């Protein structure tokens, strides 16, 4: 039996020898990471600089983009180093730090999307009361709710996993994953499993339930409301629903791959599916919201034109 305190590193067994192709993979991942940073930072700056965008909906969007940057930073720098490395190992403390970053990213994403759906519910179903019910103090409180509970929930998850006795140190992933670590345990994992169900209920199922409830109410108002109400609902809710579906599919892929034997799938496809929610969502969100929300689209175009003019000078 190997105790987790005696394990100095984890081996990431999902990597395979790519020879000269590793430089192509490196450049591809670097391109995606640069694109994620540029697009998300651009929208964050646009929202912060333009006073016309200092509304609850855009504040929650800003929080979403900050979280996408946070999740990407928890994966891409580590991934880039591992692609170029010949030895795919990671120290135990860093591995648990990455688990903390990636799990909080996923939890915050769901909570953020739930708060955004609540905001849209108030704007569409209670337009006359919106300003009073979504005050600046409430916006601050909701942003705290978006970030703090997921951080505490994941901190407990990581603490429970770090205390387990392990019978190995090989993870069949390209990044550190809590479920893969728990599968290595020799000691009883009942507490971990029960807590994972409770934490998932609070950080995933509860937000999704809020989203479903608010959209049922929004649809009810749309069917009975005017054409203008329907157009408002479609323009503001379409990117939100697309973002939710994209992220939910990505997380579902990861859960299925972690818990079921998918050795019949090609190795590259397994790796892609496991990283989908970490790579596609940060790319998808700024594009989706930037294209569908006219205020953000116009402000981004103006900001980009200013940057281009400065570069020419």
Distance from C-alpha of 213 to C-alpha of 226, rounded to nearest angstrom = 21
Q: How many CB atoms lie within 10 A of CB 120?
A: 22
Q: Which residues of 127-160 are buried (b: 16+ CB within 10 A; e: fewer)?
A: eeeeeeebeeeebeebbeebbebbeebbeebbeb
Distance from the Cα of residue 59 to its chain's centroid: 17
Q: What are phi and psi of 170, to 5 degrees?
A: -105, 120
Q: What is the pLDDT of residue 210?
A: 92
pLDDT for 313: 60
CB atoms within 10 A of CB 192: 20
Sequence-distant (≥ 6) Cβ neighbours of residue 229 within 8 angstroms: 124, 221, 222
3-state secondary structure of 230: helix
Q: Which CATH superfamily is domain 2-312 in?
A: Rhodopsin 7-helix transmembrane proteins (1.20.1070.10)
Listed residue (31, 27, 26) closest to 283, CA to CA = 31
User: pLDDT by residue (tens digit) across 239-293?
Assistant: 888 888 889 888 888 887 777 766 666 777 778 888 888 888 999 898 888 777 7
**Tens digit of pLDDT for each residue in 141-157?**
999 999 999 999 999 99
User: Residue 306 contacts by C-beta under 8 Å, 6 or more apart in sequence?
Assistant: none
Reading the block at residue 120, the tokens are 């849209």
Return mean pLDDT, the chain.
85
| pLDDT at position 6 | 66
Residue 312's pLDDT band, with cuts at 50, 70 and 90, is: low
pLDDT of residue 269: 77
For 112, 119, 266, the CA distances from 57, given in Å and listed in that order, are 11, 7, 41
At 1, the pLDDT band (50, 70, 90 cuts) reads: very low
Q: What is the pLDDT of residue 275?
A: 86
Is the predicted pLDDT of residue 4 greater than 60, yes or no?
Answer: no
The DSSP-derived string for 286-312 is HHHHHHH-HHHHHHHHHHHHHHHHHHH
pLDDT of residue 216 exceeding 90: no
Q: What is the pLDDT of residues 7-56, one digit of tens each?
A: 778 988 887 766 777 888 889 999 999 999 998 998 898 888 888 888 89
- pLDDT, position 239: 83
DSSP 87-109: S-EEEHHHHHHHHHHHHHHHHHH
3-state DSSP assignment of residue 171: strand
Query: How many angstroms separate the CA atoms of 35 and 51, rounded?
Result: 26
Residue 162 reports pLDDT greater than 70: yes
The backbone torsions φ and ψ at residue 185, rounded to the nearest 5 degrees and listed phi first, read -70, 140
* Region label for 19, one of left (φ > 0), alpha (ψ between -120 and 50) or beta (otherwise): left
Cβ neighbour number for residue 261 with a 10 Å cutoff: 7
Distances (CA, A) of 259 to 133, 193, 268, 274: 42, 13, 18, 12
Closest C-alpha among 67, 71, 64 to residue 99: 71
Tell whether the model's pLDDT for residue 294 goes beyond 90.
no
Alpha carbon 117 to its chain centroid, in Å, reads 16
Structure tokens at 264: 């019949």
């Amino acid at each position: 039996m190997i105790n987790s305190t005696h394990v100095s590193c984890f081996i990431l067994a999902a990597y395979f020898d790519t020879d000269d192709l590793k430089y192509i993979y490196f450049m591809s991942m670097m391109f995606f990471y640069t694109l994620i940073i540029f697009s998300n930072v651009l929208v964050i700056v646009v929202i912060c600089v333009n006073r016309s965008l200092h509304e609850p909906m855009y504040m929650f969007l800003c929080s979403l983009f900050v979280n996408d940057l946070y999740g990407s930073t928890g994966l891409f720098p580590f991934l880039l180093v591992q692609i170029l490395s010949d030895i795919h190992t990671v120290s135990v403390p860093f591995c648990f730090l990455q688990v903390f970053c990636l799990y909080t990213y996923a939890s915050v994403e769901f909570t953020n999307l739930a708060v955004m759906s609540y905001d849209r519910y108030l704007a569409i179903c209670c337009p006359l009361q919106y300003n009073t019910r979504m005050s600046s103090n409430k916006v601050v409180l909701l942003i705290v709710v978006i970030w703090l509970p997921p951080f505490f929930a994941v901190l407990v998850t990581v603490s429970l996993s770090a205390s387990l006795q392990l019978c190995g140190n090989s993870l069949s992933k390209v990044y550190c994953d809590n479920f893969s670590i728990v599968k290595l345990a020799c000691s009883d994992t009942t507490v971990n499993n029960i807590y994972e169900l409770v934490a998932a209920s609070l950080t995933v199922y509860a937000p999704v339930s809020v989203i479903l409830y608010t959209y049922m109410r929004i649809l009810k108002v749309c069917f009975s409301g005017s054409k203008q109400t329907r157009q408002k609902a479609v323009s503001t809710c379409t990117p939100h629903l697309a973002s939710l579906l994209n992220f939910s599919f990505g997380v579902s892929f990861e859960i299925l791959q972690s818990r079921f034997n998918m050795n019949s799938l090609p190795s590259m496809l397994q790796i892609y599916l496991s990283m989908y929610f970490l790579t596609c969502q940060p790319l998808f969100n700024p594009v989706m919201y930037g294209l569908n929300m006219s205020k953000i689209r116009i402000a981004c175009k103006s900001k980009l034109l200013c940057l281009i003019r400065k570069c020419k000078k």
